Amino acid sequence: MRRRSFVRGAAGLTAGVTAAVTGGRASAARKAKRPRDTRPYEEIREVNEAMVKELLAGDRDGWRPWQWIVVHHTAAEHASLEGIDRYHRNHFGDPLGAEYHFVINNGKRKAMGLVEPARWRHQELAAHLFHPERAPESLAICLIGNFEERPVPEEMTDALARLIRSLMGALSIPSSKVTSHRAVDGRLTQCPGKHFDLADLKSRLEAS
């Protein structure tokens, strides 16, 4: 796979997602009619746990030697994994689609706190950092929403902490290697937004 060719495109990730989710009035109207998934988070938490358990069970031979976990946001409130997938496939020419290993939904397009596995299934690196050498072999988890503009809902923070704890356990990743896009790439990005609290996340990871 020509990884190099789309790595340079990482700078366009956030802008790209925004463009992908705002495209087409007709499709927006069609999507608006779809009933919202209003299942309570207590139910979604069980769904997440079963999914993650299944994902992390069994044969680990094909897994990459993952070392880091990096948190992002879409900077767009109505994004979905399908839209991100399509946009990244078209924009970066990457047949594997979404440049995130997992996404966490915000209740707008899919249920609040719902975790969806994405690139994880392919066990391939993602083009999600400007300086990938600062967090080599890193998994990308993307929060759907714009957390430069509003606080991260408690349900999403809880789902994120639970997912990361499971990954830390399965992959032997210490909490010192759990970080945010901004912490890796510094001034180049605000991702995952000024309301994302890395210290709070770390305290949740260390409390368990």
CB of residue 72 to Zn ion, shortest distance in Å: 3
**C-beta of 102: minimal distance to Zn ion in Å?**
13
Report the greatest alpha carbon distance in the chain. 47
CB of 106 to Zn ion, least distance (A): 16
Measured from the CB atom, the residue of 72 and 110 that comes closer to Zn ion is: 72
Q: Which residues bind Zn ion (CB under 5 A)?
A: 72, 181, 191
Q: How far is the CB of 114 from Zn ion (least distance, A)?
A: 20
**Which H/E stretch holds residue 184?**
helix 181-185
User: Which residue bears the tokens 């967090």?
Assistant: 135
* 164 residue type, one letter: I
**Neighbour-count burial for 111-139, b at 16+ CB within 10 Å, e otherwise:** bbbbbbbbbbebeebbbbbbebeebeebb
Given the complex with Zn ion, which of 44 and 129 has the nearer CB atom?
Answer: 129
Compare residues 170 and 183 and give the one whose CB is closer to Zn ion: 183
Nearer to Zn ion among residue 72 and residue 109 (C-beta): 72
